[in-house]
């Protein structure tokens, strides 16, 4: 039920847009590679249109009042919702799936259905299997054609609620989900699921202690203590997920555990009522807008430029220039946060601006004191 992401590899168009922007001062950092040889320096990303391997756009399922984890009756079936995670889907996937499983499973016997095969559907399905239940996933789209495949993969809750629109009860759900997910991902760090720890810099911003153990290694850095062209930087460490490989591995685990995947589209709740399972988990993400009439659920488009991998880039950052996440499959440069945009197509001028912003940053990197 997710809107499939769109890929656009047209580097020539982006190069032309870069020229139109006429920002000659934003040189690529290739000439500054000697920075690696100096102490207290970060290797610069080579931000060049010629190194871009693809551009992508995905639609985050955003709700100002936060994600939905709720149980309700659908005829004689029990329906448990688990959707609306905005830009925090990867981050909260195990946690809200745990909350959903705990709502649905008590007193249930027999097979279980999960609708949706993005990160939320797969995480929910795996937890249900861990509890000993046979699970069938019903889905219109499979990875790599899900919104989850577009995610940058940073473990950090981002862009998923409005602070003035959530209740104290929802905040308790959020903290519980974050804590469970934080611990679960740590158990999966390594090459098998392509999850690794990286130092991360918030450029011009601050970080709050969400959990007793997150973010770890948190410190504020003044201008002489960091290499970025901003005054204040916060440094911490978190996990990064190569989302394509991660989702493939979850599907592998699901099938090894005996799970079944069936391709099916649901146009209305009555279609779900026809399933043989009496317990159903709704993990359709943005699809819940139409399927269940959730008018508070809107798309937020995020656009990314993906560059060739640079193994020497061993840090990440977020902030005023956008974000940069280095992954084995490429350097992820973001991004945009476009509310109410339903078109999942990368826009050439926006991709060009992303490259310019990051190119400017890396052309101005310096060595820390």
Cα–Cα distance, 153 to 48 (Å, whole number): 22
pLDDT at 124: 98
Is residue 31 a contact partner of residue 129, using CB atoms and an 8 Å limit? no
Cα–Cα distance, 361 to 32 (Å, whole number): 12
Whether 206 shows a pLDDT value over 90: the answer reads: no
Report how far apart, in Å, the C-alpha atoms of 43 and of each of 23, 26, 30, 244 are. Answer: 23, 17, 10, 25
The mean pLDDT value for 54-65 works out to 97
Cα–Cα distance, 77 to 149 (Å, whole number): 31
CA atoms 347, 352, 355, 360: torsion sign = negative
pLDDT at 26: 42
Beta strands in the chain (DSSP E): 6-8, 52-63, 68-74, 77-83, 112-115, 135-139, 195-203, 219-221, 233-241, 260-263, 279-282, 297-307, 316-319, 323-327, 330-334, 338-339
Is residue 238 a contact partner of residue 189, using CB atoms and an 8 Å limit? no
The mean pLDDT value for 239-265 works out to 98
Whether 39 shows a pLDDT value over 80: the answer reads: no
Whether 38 shows a pLDDT value over 90: the answer reads: no
Whether 236 shows a pLDDT value over 80: the answer reads: yes
For the chain, the structural domain boundaries read 6-59+199-241+300-363, 62-195+242-298
What's the pTM? 0.91
Whether 235 shows a pLDDT value over 90: the answer reads: yes
pLDDT at 37: 38
The mean pLDDT value for 78-97 works out to 98
Cα–Cα distance, 20 to 38 (Å, whole number): 35
The reply to whether CATH 3.30.9 applies to domain 6-59+199-241+300-363 is: yes
pLDDT at 330: 98
The mean pLDDT value for 150-171 works out to 96
pLDDT at 40: 74
Whether 89 shows a pLDDT value over 80: the answer reads: yes
Cα–Cα distance, 254 to 207 (Å, whole number): 35
pLDDT at 5: 52
Structure confidence at residue 12 as a pLDDT band (50, 70, 90): low
Structure confidence at residue 23 as a pLDDT band (50, 70, 90): very low
Per residue in 117-126, pLDDT (tens digit) is 999 999 999 9
Q: Which CATH number fits the domain 62-195+242-298, given the four candidates 3.40.50.720, 3.30.70.2190, 3.40.630.10, 3.40.1010.10? A: 3.40.50.720
Per residue in 289-333, pLDDT (tens digit) is 999 999 999 999 999 999 999 999 999 999 989 999 999 999 999
Whether 17 shows a pLDDT value over 80: the answer reads: no
Of 20 and 231, the one with more pLDDT: 231
pLDDT at 31: 42
Q: Which of 194, 91, 152 has its CA nearest to residue 354? A: 152
Whether 7 shows a pLDDT value over 80: the answer reads: no
Mean pLDDT computed over every residue of the chain: 91
What are the tokens at 198? 């990286």
């Amino acid at each position: 039920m997710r809107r499939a992401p769109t890929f656009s590899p047209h580097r020539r168009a982006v190069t032309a847009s870069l020229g139109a922007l006429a920002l000659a001062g934003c040189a690529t950092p290739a000439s500054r590679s000697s920075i690696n040889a100096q102490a207290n320096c970060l290797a610069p990303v080579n931000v060049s249109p010629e190194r871009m391997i693809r551009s992508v756009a995905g639609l985050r399922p955003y709700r100002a009042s936060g994600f939905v984890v709720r149980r309700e009756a659908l005829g004689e079936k029990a329906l448990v919702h688990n959707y609306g995670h905005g830009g925090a889907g990867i981050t909260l996937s195990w946690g809200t799936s745990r909350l959903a499983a705990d709502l649905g499973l008590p007193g249930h016997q027999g097979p279980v259905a999960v609708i949706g095969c993005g990160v939320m559907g797969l995480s929910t399905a795996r937890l249900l299997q861990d509890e000993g239940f046979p699970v069938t996933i019903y889905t219109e789209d499979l990875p790599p054609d899900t919104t989850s495949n577009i995610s940058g993969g940073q473990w950090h809750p981002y862009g998923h609620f409005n602070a003035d629109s959530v209740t104290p009860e929802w905040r308790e759900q959020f903290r519980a989900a974050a804590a469970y997910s934080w611990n679960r991902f740590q158990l999966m760090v390594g090459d098998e699921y392509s999850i690794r720890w990286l130092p991360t810099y918030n450029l011009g911003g601050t970080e709050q202690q969400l959990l007793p153990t997150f973010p770890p290694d948190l410190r504020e850095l003044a201008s002489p203590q960091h290499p970025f062209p901003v005054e204040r930087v916060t440094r911490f460490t978190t996990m990064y997920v190569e989302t394509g490989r991660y989702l493939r591995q979850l599907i592998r685990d699901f099938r090894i555990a005996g799970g079944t995947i069936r391709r099916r589209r649901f146009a209305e709740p009555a279609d779900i009522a026809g399933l043989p399972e009496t317990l159903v988990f709704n993990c359709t993400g943005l699809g819940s807008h139409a399927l269940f009439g959730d008018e508070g659920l809107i798309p937020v488009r995020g656009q990314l430029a993906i560059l060739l991998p640079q193994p020497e880039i061993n840090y990440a950052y977020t902030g005023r220039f956008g974000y940069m996440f280095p992954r084995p499959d490429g350097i992820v440069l973001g991004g945009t946060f476009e509310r109410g945009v339903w078109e999942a197509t990368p826009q050439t001028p926006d991709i060009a601006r992303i490259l310019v912003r990051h190119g400017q940053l890396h052309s101005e990197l310096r060595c820390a004191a």
